Structure 1
Amino acid sequence: MIRRFFVVGMLTATVFISCKDNSKQENTDNTNTEQTASKDIVTESLTNQEGETLKMSFDNSKGTAILNFKGETIELSQEKAASGIWYKNDQYELRGKGNDISLKKDGKTVFEHEDDKVDVEVKNNNGDVLTMTFNNTAGTLKAYLNGGEQIDLEQKKAASGIWYENDQYELRGKGDSYILKKEGETLFEN
């Protein structure tokens, strides 16, 4: 008799633990799905020279974009672009690359935003060439030393002149003079 109670108790405990583990597994799977879905949605807001704001929400998993412009909500479908982005519907078309965006309504441009970019190329006495693209709107810099790898830097607040850095590189400059360092060692100076 005691043996029967023991066996029944063990079976009940096994079923209970098994159900509890399945419940945890289902909850874990749902959480991962929600996190993945939220990573597929990207929001962006840009302002043009007239002070108008275009709010954009891109759902990469569905290939759609929801825009809010002048109080109007616009839903667009993604098209295949050679480069950058391209979304459209029967009335609107959104194209762009990076932060450079153009929204057209019935073929007429109704919103346009372009970042303020400046290209600079300098040489030093050793013949080294430093090519730089400053994005003044985003506060970023893309630099190339002697045509080598792209170095991406973020703008920092400088007492005077300019200062950009990342975890390895630092660029400082004033006027037409620039110093590029990697981990404290000077790579370029003019």
Structure 2
Amino acid sequence: MKFILVISFIAVGLMACSPQNQQDVKQQKSAEEAEQSTQVIFECERDEAITVRFFTDSERAVMTRNNEDIELKQERAASGFLYSNGPNSIRGKGDDLTLHIGRMAPINCRAM
């Protein structure tokens, strides 16, 4: 009887570690994040586009530029919004956004 119980626990543990189950968990997490965020696509100077996901459950945003995700924390702004992680920041109001990357010249963008 103990043997059957031990085998049952091992089987359940292995099922939880299966690649399919891990894929299901990742998909569920992505779906939950999508529900808790607002995604905006911005068209920028130099024919560049960036995507920003503003998370409603936390004070953060994730900017995607050149297929790279950059996480930013919300900062205080006199008006509009400001998110930064030090060298990278986005500042905006309404449909307009200014992207600052290190010491590069600011890039102006507009929501599509």
Which runs of no fewer than 5 residues in structure 2 stay unpaired? 1-30
Offset at residue 99 of structure 1 (A)? 1.2
2:55 corresponds, among 42, 56, 59, to: 59
Alpha-carbon distance in structure 1 between the residues aligned to 2:100 and 2:75: 15
Q: What secondary structure does 1:109 align onto?
A: coil
Give the structure with the larger strand fraction.
Answer: 1
Q: Which runs of 4+ in 1 moved over 2 A?
A: 107-111
Contact (CA 8 Å) 1:92, 1:106: kept in 2 or not?
A: yes
Q: Which residue of 1 aligns with 2:11?
A: none
Q: Which residue of 2 aligns with 1:68?
A: 64
CA offset digits 1:28-64 (Å, max 9, x no partner) = xxxxxx98x82x4110001123211011101022111
Contact (CA 8 Å) 1:102, 1:109: kept in 2 or not?
A: no
Offset at residue 107 of structure 1 (A)? 4.0
Alpha-carbon distance in structure 1 between the residues aligned to 2:109 and 2:76: 21
**Percentage of pairs with the same residue:** 27
How many residues align structurally? 81
Structure having greater relative contact order (Cα 8 Å, sep ≥ 6) = 2
Asked which structure has the greater CA Rg, the reply is 1
Q: Which residue of 2 aligns with 1:79?
A: 75
1:47 corresponds, among 28, 43, 46, to: 43
Letter in 2 for 1:54: I
Could you tell me the TM-score, scaled by structure 2's length?
0.62
Letter in 1 for 2:98: S
Which runs of no fewer than 5 residues in structure 1 stay unpaired? 1-33, 116-137, 139-190
CA offset digits 1:59-118 (Å, max 9, x no partner) = 022111101112221100001111111000022011000111011012433531147xxx
Give runs of aligned pairs for residues 70-149 of structure 1, distance below 5 A: 70-114=66-110
Alpha-carbon distance in structure 2 between the residues aligned to 1:107 and 1:60: 30
Could you tell me the TM-score, scaled by structure 1's length?
0.38
- Computed over aligned residues only, the root mean square deviation of the Cα atoms, in angstroms, reads 2.4
Alpha-carbon distance in structure 2 between the residues aligned to 1:61 and 1:78: 12
